[in-house]
C-alpha cells in the first residue's frame, strides 16, 4: 500500500509530476528524436551548434547520459515506489530533478558559450541527485535487495566524469574508458533487470508457467560482465591479453544466450509487449559475442559493434519497457496501440542496418546512418505521439501516481 499523506494535494498536482516515469520517459524519448536529427544533420554539415566538445563527443555523451540516463532514472524512481511502498520522488522535488537534467542538455548544446566548469557541474549533478533520491526510501525501509542500483548510478557518474576529464585533458584513452564503461554498465543493468522481469512478463502475457531461474547460470552470465565493466573503468583491460578479454566476453555472451533462450520466445509471437523484450535482450549476447570475436581476431570496429548494445539492446529494451510501464503505471490495461509493434520492428531493423551497413552499403556508409537514424526517429516519435496523452493525464483508475 503506497503511503499518501494528502490525497487532495496529490490530485491537484500536475499529472506529469506525479511519478518520475512521466516526465523522464516523455522528455527522454523526445530528446532522443531531437538528438538523432541533429546528429544526422551535423554529419552532413547542415547544422552546426557550439557543442561542448565536437559533434561525435556530443552524440556519444548525450545518447548515453542524456537519453539513456533519463530513462534509467525515470524507471528506477518509479520502481522504488513498488519496491518499498513509500511515495517516491514527485512534485517539486521531481521538477527540480527534471530541470537539472534539462539544464545539462542545454549546456552541452551551447557548451562553447559557457565556461567548461558550468557544463561539467550541471551535467555531473544529475545522476548523484537521482541516486540520493533512490537511496532514501530504500534505506528507510531497510530494503537491501535493490540498494545496489544506487552504486550503479554512482558508477555511471564515474563514467560520465571520465568522459569529461578525457575531453578536457585531451586524453582519448580516458574518454574511451568512460564511454565503454557506461555502455557495458548499462548493458549489465539491462541484463539484471531483464532477468527479473522478462520471465514474469512472459508467463503473464502468454498465460503459461513461468520458467524458473537457474542461479548458477545467472552467476555465470553476470560475473564476467561485472569483471569486464571493472576492467574498462579501471583502464586495466588493455593490460590483459586480448584473448583473455575475448574469453570473458564469450563466457558472458554464451551464458546470456542460454539464459534468454530458456524463456521460450516461441510462446510470445502474438504478444508484442513480450516478444519485443525477448528480441531486445537477445541483442546483449549478440553484442558480447561480437565483441569477443573483435578481441580474439582484431576484426571489425569497436564503435560499430557497440551499436548492437546501443541501438539493439538499449534502444529496443527502453522502447518496449516504456511502452509497458507507461500503461501499467498509469492504471491502463496492457493493450498496445496498433502502431507500436511496427515501432519495435523499426528499431530492431535500425540496429541491424547500423552495424551491418558497412557490408550492405559499402559505397555509401552515410546511407546506413540515415536509414538507421530515420528508423530510430520514427520509432521514438511514435512513442511520444501515442503516449503523450497517457503521460500527461491522471491515472485512468483514479489512484494516486
Could you tell me which of 139, 138, 187, 401 has the C-alpha nearest to residue 288?
Answer: 187
Tell me if 218 sits within 8 A of 246, measured CB to CB. no
Per-position DSSP letters for 337-374, written without gaps between them: -TTHHHHHHHHHHHHHHHHHHHHHSTT-HHHHHHHHHH
pLDDT value of residue 86: 92
The grid coordinates of residue 357 equal 551497413
Could you tell me which of 287, 293, 232, 285 has the C-alpha nearest to residue 259?
Answer: 285
Question: In terms of residues, how long is the chain?
Answer: 401
CA distances (Å), 131 to each of 128, 135, 139, 189, 320, in order?
A: 5, 6, 12, 15, 24
Collect contacts of 377-382 with beta carbons under 8 A, ≥24 apart: 377/33, 377/36, 377/37, 378/343, 378/346, 379/315, 379/319, 379/343, 379/344, 379/346, 379/347, 379/350, 380/29, 380/30, 380/32, 380/33, 380/36, 380/319, 380/343, 381/33, 382/339, 382/340, 382/342, 382/343
* DSSP letter (8 states) at residue 86: B
pLDDT value of residue 168: 95
From CA 353, how far away is CA 345, in angstroms rounded?
12
Tell me if 284 sits within 8 A of 187, measured CB to CB. yes
| C-alpha dihedral sign at 176, 179, 181, 187 | negative
pLDDT per residue, tens digit, the chain (401 aa), is 444 445 556 667 789 999 999 999 999 999 999 999 999 999 999 988 898 988 999 999 999 999 999 999 999 999 999 999 999 999 999 999 999 999 999 999 998 889 999 999 999 999 999 999 999 999 999 888 899 999 999 999 999 999 999 999 999 999 999 999 999 999 999 999 999 999 999 999 999 999 999 999 999 999 999 999 999 999 998 888 999 999 999 999 999 999 999 999 999 999 999 999 999 999 999 999 999 999 998 777 788 899 999 999 999 999 999 999 999 999 999 999 999 999 999 999 999 999 998 777 777 788 899 999 999 999 999 999 999 999 999 988 777 66
The angle subtended at Cα 312 by Cα 311 and Cα 314, nearest 5°, is 70
SS3 236: coil
Tell me if 37 sits within 8 A of 49, measured CB to CB. no
The angle subtended at Cα 321 by Cα 319 and Cα 325, nearest 5°, is 125
Looking from the CA of 298 toward its CB, the CA atoms found within 13 Å total 1
pLDDT value of residue 3: 47
From CA 36, how far away is CA 84, in angstroms rounded?
36
pLDDT value of residue 238: 85
pLDDT value of residue 11: 65
Tell me if 346 sits within 8 A of 302, measured CB to CB. no
Amino acid at each position: 500500500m503506497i503511503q499518501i499523506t494528502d490525497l487532495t494535494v496529490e490530485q491537484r498536482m500536475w499529472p506529469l509530476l506525479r511519478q518520475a516515469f512521466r516526465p523522464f520517459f516523455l522528455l527522454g524519448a523526445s530528446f532522443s528524436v531531437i538528438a538523432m536529427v541533429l546528429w544526422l544533420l551535423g554529419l552532413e554539415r547542415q547544422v552546426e551548434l557550439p557543442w561542448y566538445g565536437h559533434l561525435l563527443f556530443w552524440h556519444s555523451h548525450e545518447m548515453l547520459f542524456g537519453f539513456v540516463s533519463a530513462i534509467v532514472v525515470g524507471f528506477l524512481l518509479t520502481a522504488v515506489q513498488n519496491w518499498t511502498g513509500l511515495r517516491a520522488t514527485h512534485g517539486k522535488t521531481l521538477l527540480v530533478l527534471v530541470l537539472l537534467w534539462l539544464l545539462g542538455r542545454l549546456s552541452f548544446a551551447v557548451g562553447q558559450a559557457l565556461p567548461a566548469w558550468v557544463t561539467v557541474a550541471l551535467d555531473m549533478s544529475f545522476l548523484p541527485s537521482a541516486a540520493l533520491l533512490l537511496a532514501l526510501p530504500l534505506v528507510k525501509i531497510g530494503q537491501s535487495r535493490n540498494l545496489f542500483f544506487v552504486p550503479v548510478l554512482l558508477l555511471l557518474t564515474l563514467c560520465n566524469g571520465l568522459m569529461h576529464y578525457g575531453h578536457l585533458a585531451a586524453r582519448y584513452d580516458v574518454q574511451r574508458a568512460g564511454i565503454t564503461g557506461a555502455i557495458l554498465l548499462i548493458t549489465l543493468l539491462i541484463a539484471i533487470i531483464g532477468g527479473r522481469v522478462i520471465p514474469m512478463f512472459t508467463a503473464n502475457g502468454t498465460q503459461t508457467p513461468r520458467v524458473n531461474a537457474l542461479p548458477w547460470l545467472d552467476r555465470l552470465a553476470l560475473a564476467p560482465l561485472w569483471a569486464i565493466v571493472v576492467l574498462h573503468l579501471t583502464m586495466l583491460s588493455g593490460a590483459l591479453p586480448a584473448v583473455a578479454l575475448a574469453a570473458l566476453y564469450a563466457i558472458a555472451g554464451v551464458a546470456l544466450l542460454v539464459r534468454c533462450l530458456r524463456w521460450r520466445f516461441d510462446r510470445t509471437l502474438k504478444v508484442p509487449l513480450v516478444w519485443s523484450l525477448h528480441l531486445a535482450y537477445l541483442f546483449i549476447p549478440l553484442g558480447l559475442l561480437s565483441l569477443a570475436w573483435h578481441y580474439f581476431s582484431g576484426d571489425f570496429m569497436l564503435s560499430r559493434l557497440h551499436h548492437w548494445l546501443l541501438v539493439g539492446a538499449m534502444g529496443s529494451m527502453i522502447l518496449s519497457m516504456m511502452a509497458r510501464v507507461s500503461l501499467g503505471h498509469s492504471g491502463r490495461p496492457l493493450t498496445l496501440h496498433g502502431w507500436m509493434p511496427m515501432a519495435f520492428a523499426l528499431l530492431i531493423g535500425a540496429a541491424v542496418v547500423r552495424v551491418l551497413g558497412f557490408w550492405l552499403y559499402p559505397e555509401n556508409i552515410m546511407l546506413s546512418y540515415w536509414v538507421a537514424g530515420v528508423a530510430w526517429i520514427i520509432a521514438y516519435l511514435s512513442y511520444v505521439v501515442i503516449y503523450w496523452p497517457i503521460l500527461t493525464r491522471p491515472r485512468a483508475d483514479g489512484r494516486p501516481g
